[in-house]
Amino acid sequence: MAALARAQPFRCGPACLGRPLLREAGGAAARRGGPGARRGAGGSQVLGKDFKRGIALSAGSFLVYETYRLISRFAEVHASFKVEEVIEQADYLYGSGETEKLYRLLVQHKNSEDAELWWRLARASRDLAQLSSTSAEEKKQLVYEALEYAKKALEKNESNFAAHKWYAICISDVGDYEGIKAKIANAFVIKEHFQKAIELNPKDATSIHLMGIWCYSFAEMPWYQRKIAAMLFATPPTSTYKEVQKEALELLNSI
């Protein structure tokens, strides 16, 4: 019976047998200070080193990530300050009538992603096109450039009243190169964007004034031009003197 009792623990098979034997061998080696003990101590040291290395790598990754975040924030702030500085310089040059200097300043930032810079560049391009010293070829190029910059400003920020205003002005200028049909078709777009500019900023005297000019132009349109417009479009743009008076009153109220 005693022999049977001693044999019972081994019924679980060879896999169970190996575990107690390994524990016993390790214990015996440790008591004797043999190779098993050294390997056990070495294993603990390796595990400790791996653990420390893992902590160091984690800490290093965290520091790299935090550094990246700080640099990104600094770059954003720096870019913001730079844009504000350029806008401040641009407004000073515009107020001083330095059209060529203003254009040179802003065209350096034509790849910007800021609507405020883009509509100012559209305005500067158009103003440069209007100078008597600008050749006919350069004028045409600048007029189309101005429209492109105004369009970018509008796409970037549809809530920017100045972007709507300068888009309307620039598309009107382009009509001079694209014929009567395009000019009449653009008239609808021009009116829409002037109205949007006024809606976004009811105190902007320029938008109200230009809306008044638009109304007056179509109220004063000669009969033959109306005839041409009616041939080209089922419902050509129209206006009345009453609308002109309304825009004039709004202009007076905005002052």
pLDDT in tens, 85-99: 999 999 999 999 999
**pLDDT top residue among 187 and 64:** 187
Q: Which tokens in the block code for residue 158? A: 């549809």
Give the Cα separation of 90 and 72 in Å (integer): 27
Using pLDDT thresholds of 50, 70 and 90, give the confidence band for residue 245: low
Give the Cα separation of 79 and 75 in Å (integer): 6
Specify the DSSP class assigned to residue 202: T
What's the pLDDT at 64?
Answer: 53
**pLDDT top residue among 98 and 77:** 98
**pLDDT higher than 80, residue 240:** no
pLDDT in tens, 110-158: 998 899 999 999 999 999 999 999 999 999 999 999 999 999 999 999 9
Distance, CA of 79 to chain centre: 13
Distance, CA of 196 to chain centre: 22
**pLDDT top residue among 58 and 82:** 82
Q: Which tokens in the block code for residue 249? A: 């009153």
Range from 13-27, 137-151, 152-166 carrying the lowest mean pLDDT = 13-27
Predicted model pTM: 0.62
**pLDDT higher than 60, residue 57:** no
What's the pLDDT at 185?
Answer: 84
Specify the DSSP class assigned to residue 111: T
- For residue 169, the tally of other CB atoms under 10 A from its CB is 22
